[in-house]
Structure 1
Amino acid sequence: MTTLADLIAVLDAAYPPALAESWDSVGLVCGDPAQESTRVMFAVDATEATVGEAIAWGAEALVVHHPLLLRGVDTVAASTPKGALLHQLIRSGCALFTAHTNADCADPGVSDALAARLGLAVTGPLVAKPESVVDNWVIHVPDSHTDAVLAALFAAGAGGAGNYRECALSMSATSQFRPVAAAVPTHGALGELHRVEGDRVEVVAPPSARSSVLAALHAAHPYEDPAYHLTERATLPSSLGIGRIATLRQPESFRAFTDRVARSLPSTVWGVRAAGEADRVVRTVAVCGGSGDSYLDAVTRLGVDVYVTADLRHHPVDEHLRMGGPALIDAAHWATEFPWCAQAEAVVRTALPNVQTTVSALRTDPWTLAAVG
Structure 2
Amino acid sequence: MTAPDTRATVGDITRCLDLAYPPELAESWDSVGLVCGDPNERAAKVLFAVDATAAVVDEALDWGADLLVAHHPLLLRGVDRVGTDTPKGALIHRLIRGGCALFTAHTNADSADPGVSDALAAALGLRIEGPLAAQSQRSLDKWVVFIPGDDVRAVTNAMFAAGAGQIGDYSECGWSVTGTGQFRPGDAANPAIGSVGELERVTEDRYEMVVPRSRRAQVLAALRSAHPYEEPAFDVYELAEMPAPTGLGRIGRLAEPEPLSVFTQRVGISLPATAWGVRAAGDPDRMIERVAVCGGAGDSFLSLVAKLGVDAYVTADLRHHPADEHLRSGGPALIDVAHWASEFPWCDQAKAVVDREFATAAVETRVSDRRTDPWTLAHG
Tell me the TM-score range normalised by the shorter chain.
Answer: over 0.9
Q: Which residue of 2 aligns with 1:194?
A: 200
Aligned partner of 2:48 among 42, 63, 67: 42
Residues 14-58 of structure 1, C-alpha deviations (whole Å, 9 max, x = no match): 000000001111111001111111210100000000011011111
Residues 42-97 of structure 1, C-alpha deviations (whole Å, 9 max, x = no match): 00000000011011111100001000011111210111100010001000110000
Amino acid at match of 2:27: E
Comparing 287-296 and 168-177, the one that deviates more: 168-177
Amino acid at match of 2:147: V
Residues 310-339 of structure 1, C-alpha deviations (whole Å, 9 max, x = no match): 000011111110010000000000000000
Q: Give the alignment of 1:183-222 within 5 angstroms.
A: 183-222=189-228
Using the TM superposition, give the Cα deviation of residue 244 of structure 1 relative to its aligned residue in structure 2, in angstroms: 0.4
RMSD: 1.0
2:294 matches 1:291: no
Amino acid at match of 1:95: A
2:256 matches 1:250: yes
Amino acid at match of 2:251: I
Aligned partner of 1:66 among 57, 60, 72: 72
Using the TM superposition, give the Cα deviation of residue 181 of structure 1 relative to its aligned residue in structure 2, in angstroms: 2.9
Q: Take 1:165 and 1:37, find their aligned partners in 2: how far apart are those partners?
A: 32
Q: Give the alignment of 1:347-362 within 5 angstroms.
A: 347-353=353-359, 354=361, 355-362=363-370
2:144 matches 1:138: yes
SS, match of residue 13 in structure 1:
helix
Q: Which residue of 2 aligns with 1:120?
A: 126
Using the TM superposition, give the Cα deviation of residue 185 of structure 1 relative to its aligned residue in structure 2, in angstroms: 1.7
Aligned partner of 1:239 among 238, 241, 245: 245
Using the TM superposition, give the Cα deviation of residue 10 of structure 1 relative to its aligned residue in structure 2, in angstroms: 0.5
Q: Take 1:62 and 1:232, find their aligned partners in 2: how far apart are those partners?
A: 43
2:318 matches 1:312: yes
Amino acid at match of 1:322: R
Using the TM superposition, give the Cα deviation of residue 348 of structure 1 relative to its aligned residue in structure 2, in angstroms: 0.6
Structure 1 unpaired stretches of 5+: none
Using the TM superposition, give the Cα deviation of residue 195 of structure 1 relative to its aligned residue in structure 2, in angstroms: 1.2
SS, match of residue 307 in structure 2:
helix
Q: Which residue of 2 aligns with 1:174?
A: 180
Q: Which residue of 2 aligns with 1:103?
A: 109
Residues 335-373 of structure 1, C-alpha deviations (whole Å, 9 max, x = no match): 00000000000001101112110000111111111112x
Q: Take 2:147 and 2:300, find their aligned partners in 1: how far apart are those partners?
A: 52
Q: Which residue of 2 aligns with 1:21?
A: 27
SS, match of residue 319 in structure 1:
helix
SS, match of residue 246 in structure 1:
strand
Q: Take 2:96 and 2:340, find their aligned partners in 1: how far apart are those partners?
A: 26
Q: Which residue of 1 aligns with 2:270?
A: 264
Aligned partner of 2:351 among 338, 345, 354: 345
Structure 2 unpaired stretches of 5+: 1-6
Aligned length: 372
Aligned partner of 1:363 among 362, 371, 376: 371
Using the TM superposition, give the Cα deviation of residue 276 of structure 1 relative to its aligned residue in structure 2, in angstroms: 0.3
Using the TM superposition, give the Cα deviation of residue 133 of structure 1 relative to its aligned residue in structure 2, in angstroms: 0.7
Amino acid at match of 2:377: L
Using the TM superposition, give the Cα deviation of residue 175 of structure 1 relative to its aligned residue in structure 2, in angstroms: 1.1
SS, match of residue 73 in structure 1:
coil
Q: Take 2:246 and 2:27, find their aligned partners in 1: how far apart are those partners?
A: 13
TM-score of the superposition, structure 2-length normalised? 0.96
